[in-house]
A = this chain, B = another copy of it.
Amino acid sequence: MNAKIYVTLKTEVLDPQGDAVRRSLASLGFERVKAARVGKLIELKLDETDRTEAERAVRRMCEQLLANPVIEDFRFELEPSS
């Protein structure tokens, strides 16, 4: 299985990196960008063919390492390895 994990800051958490992106875009002339948030995309290759097992493992990886539950949310997608 391959996993794509999206880790984003919770809505109520300030995002200085996102604000810097918005300001940089504005200075390049992209003034119609009203907000920017920066998160992480983590792609994993798993040696696991069972979707339920893979889902359980990825959820635990997110909770234990990949996301900080205090300030971040996560979601993920699984697809069979090609």
Q: Identify which of residues 4-50 in chain A touch chain B, using a CB-to-CB cut-off of 8 Å.
A: 6-8, 18, 21, 24-25, 28, 30, 32-48
Q: Is the CB of B44 within 8 A of A41?
A: no
Q: Is the CB of B34 within 8 A of A46?
A: yes
Q: How many copies altogether?
A: 2
Q: In the complex, what distance in Å separates the CA atom of A73 from the CA atom of B40?
A: 15
Q: Is the CB of B61 within 8 A of A42?
A: no
CB-nearest residue of chain B to A27: B65
Q: Is the CB of B21 within 8 A of A42?
A: yes
Q: Is the CB of A45 within 8 A of B35?
A: yes
Chain B residue contacts of A71, Cβ below 8 A:
none
Given contacts A38-B43, A39-B43, 19 further A-B contacts (CB under 8 A): A8-B41, A24-B65, A25-B65, A28-B61, A28-B64, A28-B65, A30-B57, A30-B60, A32-B46, A32-B47, A33-B46, A34-B45, A36-B43, A36-B44, A37-B42, A38-B40, A38-B42, A39-B41, A40-B40
